[in-house]
Amino acid sequence: MDRSINVKEFAFKYGMMIILVLLFIFFSMLIPKFASIRSIFSILEQVSMFGVISIGVTFVIITQGIDLSSGSVVALTSVVCASIVGGEGGAGSAIFAFFAVMSVGALCGLINGSFTAFGGIPPFIATLGMMTVARGAASLYSGGRPIDASSDAFTAVADFNLLAIPGLVWIYIIVGIISTILLSKTKYGRHVYAIGGNRNASKICGINVKRTLIVTYGFAGALAGLAGAMLTSRTYAGNPAYGTMWELDAIAATVIGGTSLSGGKGSVVMCMVGALIIGVINKGLNGLDVNPYWQQIVKGGIIIGAVLLDTLKSRRST
């Protein structure tokens, strides 16, 4: 009896890691060179961009919120970033571009958080509005056309490798480490969990709920801006069409990683595992030449399955 309980607990705790390994083995058996070092780094590089977004979304969902605007913020920040570096910008403009677009993303997030915290607007509606505004602003700013960003100093961020690991993956790792410390080792992180667990109790305990929510949405927006800069560096251009449906991938990675949609539960590490699962599925389905429409159906089914698992966990704990 005790052994069966331990097996269930092990499955609940490490199930997603097991699924990640099984998926990788499955696709490796069907697709030649899927398990090659080059293929693995390609997956990691693809994951790094929407994975950065998913980390910010994890913070938001832990507070019982949601962010539907991240993909559009990527589009807006990508064209702003490209306009700053252009085709001949030096190292100074490249560094400034990263900080500038993270500030633009943070501003979008702060607006989301302010509407939610002070306006009482549900996060779904507030971020849905920002999704439309940011996408429109990206098209207006760029004239609906891509903007060149082929500056050597700027694209070097995506082109360089350290210890055979792509630069964008290093950025993802660093963001993951900082975010893990922020969420699990700081007073702010404890406040995020507390608000998601019980907002009214958090107020009674003296937590500034409104300020914490605004900071959280601002942080998520800044990471979406960083993802926009990363994508621009990788593709040598900013484009108002970038980031389409990335919010879906980010939310999927977060939920698959075990972050509870009811708030109060989640971790950055498991979010990164969820992002890897999405990345392996994307790479595997593309390698098998699966119709893109079917890929969307598969992702939708995965999200539903992850939410169902979360529901079962909640029932089991009550």
DSSP single-letter state for residue 237: E
Where is pLDDT greater, at 309 or 33? Answer: 33
Give the pLDDT of residue 93.
80
Residue 174 lies in a domain: yes
Give the pLDDT of residue 308.
77
Residue 43 lies in a domain: yes
CB 131 within 8 A of CB 69: yes
Residue 29 lies in a domain: no
Least reliable range by pLDDT among 57-61, 108-112, 254-258:
254-258
How far is it, in rounded angstroms, from Cα 136 to Cα 150? Answer: 24
Does 7 score more than 70 pLDDT? no
Mean pLDDT of the chain: 88
Q: Among the ranges 11-20, 81-90, 124-133, 262-271, which has the highest mean pLDDT value? A: 124-133
Beta-ladder partners of 165: 162
Average pLDDT on 138-153 reads: 90
Q: Shortest CA distance to 311 belongs to which of 261, 237, 272, 242?
A: 261
Residue 301 lies in a domain: yes
CA separation, residue 12 to residues 18, 24, 42, 62, 192 (Å):
10, 20, 29, 19, 23
Give the pLDDT of residue 9.
61
Does 5 score more than 60 pLDDT? no
How far is it, in rounded angstroms, from Cα 85 to Cα 83? Answer: 6
Residue 3 lies in a domain: no
CA separation, residue 163 to residues 166, 167, 270 (Å):
8, 10, 25
How far is it, in rounded angstroms, from Cα 128 to Cα 117? Answer: 16
Task: Quote the tokens at residue 246.
Answer: 């990335």
Q: Which amino acid is at 290?
A: V
Does 315 score more than 70 pLDDT? no
Q: What b/e string do you get for 249-258 counting C-beta neighbours within 10 Å, with b at 16 or more?
A: bbbbbbbbbb
Residue 10 lies in a domain: no
CATH code for position 95: 1.10.3470
Does 117 score more than 50 pLDDT? yes
Least reliable range by pLDDT among 181-195, 219-233, 246-260:
246-260
3-class secondary-structure state, position 141:
helix
Average pLDDT on 98-121 reads: 94
Residue 204 lies in a domain: yes
Does 295 score more than 50 pLDDT? yes
Does 35 score more than 80 pLDDT? yes
The count of domains in the chain is: 1
The owner of tokens 């900080």 is: 99
Q: Where are the beta strands (DSSP E) in the chain?
A: 147-148, 161-162, 165-166, 237-238
Does 110 score more than 90 pLDDT? yes
pLDDT tens for each residue of 37-51:
888 988 999 899 999
Residue 292 lies in a domain: yes
Confidence of residue 1 (pLDDT cuts 50, 70, 90): very low
Q: Shortest CA distance to 135 belongs to which of 236, 51, 224?
A: 224
Q: What b/e string do you get for 89-123 counting C-beta neighbours within 10 Å, with b at 16 or more?
A: beeebbeebbebbbebbbebbbbbbbbbbeeebeb
Q: Which domain holds residue 132?
A: 39-317
